[in-house]
Structure 1
Amino acid sequence: MSAQARTEPSHELLARLNDLSAKLAESQEHLAHAQRLATLGTLCGAIAHEFNNMLTPVLSYAQLALQSPDDRELVQKALQKVVENTEKAATICSSLLGFIREDSQPQSVDIALCVSNTLSCLGRDLAKDGIRLECRIADGLAAAIRPVALQQVLLNLILNAVQAMKPSPGTLSIDAHRSTWKHSDGTVESGVEIAVGDTGCGIPPELLDRIFEPFVRARKPGAMEPGTGLGLAICRRLVTDAGGTITVASKAGTGTTFTIRLPAAASCTERAAA
Structure 2
Amino acid sequence: MAAAKWSWERNHIAGRGSDTLPGAKWLFQPLRTGRGCVGVVGIIRDEPGPLLTPDQQRLLDALADQAALAVERVNLARDLHHARLQAETDRLRSALLTSISHDLRTPLASILGSATSLRSQAAVLDAPTKESLLGTIIEEADRLNRFIGNLLDMTRLESGALKPNTSLAELSDVIGAALRRATRILADHRVVVDLPPGLPLVSLDMVLFEQVLFNVLDNAAKHAPAGSVIAVTVRRDADTVTLSISDQGEGIPQADAERVFEKFYRAGGPDRRRPGTGLGLAICRGFVEAMGGTIRAGNRPDGKGAMITISLPVPVQAEMPDEDTMPAGPA
Question: What TM-score, normalized to structure 1?
Answer: 0.51
Q: Which of 1 and 2 has greater Rg? A: 2
Equivalent residue for 2:175?
115
What's the secondary structure of 1:247's corresponding residue?
strand
What's the secondary structure of 2:167's corresponding residue?
coil
Distance 1:249 1:223 in 2: 18
Residues 221 and 269 of structure 1, relative CA distance in 2, 3 Å threshold: same
CA positional deviation for 1:160: 0.6
- 2:289 pairs with 1:240: yes
What's the secondary structure of 2:260's corresponding residue?
coil
Across the two proteins, how many residue pairs are aligned to each other?
164
Equivalent AA in structure 2 for residue 201 of structure 1: E
Distance 1:215 1:138 in 2: 35
Structure of greater relative contact order (alpha carbons < 8 Å, 6+ residues apart):
1
Distance 1:197 1:225 in 2: 17
Residues 221 and 161 of structure 1, relative CA distance in 2, 3 Å threshold: farther
Equivalent AA in structure 2 for residue 164 of structure 1: H
Higher helix share: 1
Equivalent residue for 1:254?
304
Identity of aligned residues (%): 30
Say if 1:243 and 1:263, in contact at 8 Å, map to a contact too: yes
Distance 1:213 1:202 in 2: 17
CA positional deviation for 1:149: 1.5
What's the secondary structure of 2:276's corresponding residue?
coil
In the TM superposition, what are the counterparts of 1:1-274 in structure 2 within 5 Å? 105-124=165-184, 126=186, 128-129=187-188, 131-141=189-199, 142-167=201-226, 169-180=227-238, 190-218=239-267, 226-250=275-299, 254-265=304-315, 270=321
CA positional deviation for 1:217: 1.1
What's the secondary structure of 2:261's corresponding residue?
coil
Distance 1:239 1:133 in 2: 23
CA positional deviation for 1:143: 1.5
What's the secondary structure of 1:246's corresponding residue?
strand
Equivalent AA in structure 2 for residue 112 of structure 1: S
Residues 152 and 192 of structure 1, relative CA distance in 2, 3 Å threshold: same
CA positional deviation for 1:105: 4.7
Which ranges of structure 2 fall in alignment gaps of 5 or more residues? 1-102, 112-161
Which ranges of structure 1 fall in alignment gaps of 5 or more residues? 1-37, 46-101, 181-189
Distance 1:230 1:125 in 2: 17
CA positional deviation for 1:261: 0.6
CA positional deviation for 1:138: 2.3
Per mean C-alpha deviation after superposition, the further-off stretch among 144-153 and 220-229 is: 220-229
Distance 2:310 2:304 in 1: 20
Equivalent AA in structure 2 for residue 248 of structure 1: A
Distance 1:220 1:116 in 2: 34
Residues 220 and 111 of structure 1, relative CA distance in 2, 3 Å threshold: farther
Structure 1, residues 60-101: CA drift from partner, whole Å, max 9, x if none? xxxxxxxxxxxxxxxxxxxxxxxxxxxxxxxxxxxxxxxxxx
Distance 2:265 2:185 in 1: 29
